[in-house]
A and B are shown apart, each in its own frame.
Chain A
Amino acid sequence: GAVVSQHPSWVICKSGTSVKIECRSLDFQATTMFWYRQFPKQSLMLMATSNEGSKATYEQGVEKDKFLINHASLTLSTLTVTSAHPEDSSFYICSARSGRGQLYGYTFGSGTRLTVV
């Protein structure tokens, strides 16, 4: 079945540095990828939607210059947290959607726990 590999699964970085999270669809082409963020004991919050080859669409309140999303190919999307601060510490999950119309399915990565110290 469809598999999405998200890497790394956890990362610790210093304030002010940048961190890149990768999301790869291993056996299918992901026409659309989604990036979510989850704070402790809260639901997932959609950060942005990216379609291959075009700029990501960010949700209201998400800083596009801080959370850089690149979806350069049908199998890879990256989220870069730039100039990270402790408040960026969170759990980030990607999701890839394959197919089009009513028959598409979603596959989620297993998440990345980011801790900024």
Chain B
Amino acid sequence: GEDVEQSLFLSVREGDSSVINCTYTDSSSTYLYWYKQEPGAGLQLLTYIFSNMDMKQDQRLTVLLNKKDKHLSLRIADTQTGDSAIYFCAARGDDKIIFGKGTRLHILP
């Protein structure tokens, strides 16, 4: 079955760019998502990309998809303290969504 992997921790200085990486195994995944979870809150959908796209930009967020390598990344430009959260990568094939374990983004002053 589908497996989604992402690193557990990332530390970035305020103002720098954050890049969170994710790999998945099922090449038939049609949608790929990035979710954000702030402390004590539920998941918030940040952005998603269709599998036939290779890039999507939305304000400070840029998603890159390398379908050949099954690699997805989320770039947050000008990282701010409010970006401190856990970021989940997820892949959807058919009716199932498989999530990664989440990357905890820590912002350094």
Contact = CB atoms under 8 A, between A and B. Distances in A.
Interface of A: 2, 9-10, 34, 36, 38, 42-46, 59, 91, 93, 95, 102, 105-108, 110-111, 113
A105 B97 contact: no
B44 A106 contact: no
Interface of B: 1, 8, 35, 41-45, 86, 88, 90, 95-99, 101-102, 104
Main secondary structure of the interface of B (DSSP, over half): strand
Given A36-B43, A106-B102, A111-B95, 18 more contacts: A9-B96, A10-B95, A43-B35, A43-B44, A44-B35, A44-B43, A45-B42, A46-B41, A46-B42, A59-B42, A91-B97, A105-B101, A106-B99, A108-B90, A108-B97, A108-B98, A110-B1, A110-B97
